[in-house]
Amino acid sequence: MNDKIIKNFNKCMSPEDTLIHIGDYCFNGNASNNKGNGIGVKAIDYENRIHAKLILIKGNHDKSSNTTKAIIHNMVIQLGGFEIFLTHKPQNYNPNYLINLVGHRHTDMTHEIKDDCILINVGVDVWNFKPINIEDIYKKYGKIISELKKKRGIK
């Protein structure tokens, strides 16, 4: 699975791109790698294989035992006129931002609406094990807004 994710990422990104990983970058360094030879996988092993600059937001599996250097718990980015809040767990969303990007939930949530803000799950599990770019996030946001307007009878 990890090889597939890295391959998918590298097809979409170049060394000039920035990947903001929203947590759970890798499990602990004592786990067997994909070759099954019992050698532990460390975060740096994956970092060296990804063709982009990395910013790691700390997830609940990112601990010192897996050598992940994530120290950012959440962040705000500004793109396309929007300020977007990024955090690992959906329950840590920030209602002061219209768009919150979250991870943590693997298959049961693509988006959620709370306190008049939209939480979009950007985890690879719900995006065919590929990175999601900002254009796809805005498309998803647009679809959610359209669905809400339709439900409420707004044109």
Burial (CB count <10 Å: 0-12, 13-18, 19+), residue 91: exposed
Global pTM exceeds 0.75: yes
What average pLDDT does the segment 110-136 reach? 89
User: What's the confidence (pLDDT) of residue 32?
Assistant: 44
Per-residue model confidence (pLDDT) at position 37: 41
What is each CA distance from 45 to 58, 68, 134, in whole angstroms?
Answer: 18, 10, 26
Mark residue 81 as left, alpha or beta (left: phi above 0; alpha: psi -120 to 50; beta: remaining): left
Render pLDDT for 79-102 as a digit per residue (tens, 0 to 9).
Answer: 888 899 999 999 999 999 999 999
Q: What is the chain's length? A: 155
Q: What pLDDT, on a 0 to 100 scale, did the predictor assign at position 24?
A: 82
Q: Which amino acid is at 12?
A: C
pLDDT class of 45 with cuts at 50, 70, 90? confident
Report, as an integer, the average pLDDT of 48-74: 80
CA distance linking residue 135 with residue 24, whole number of Å? 23
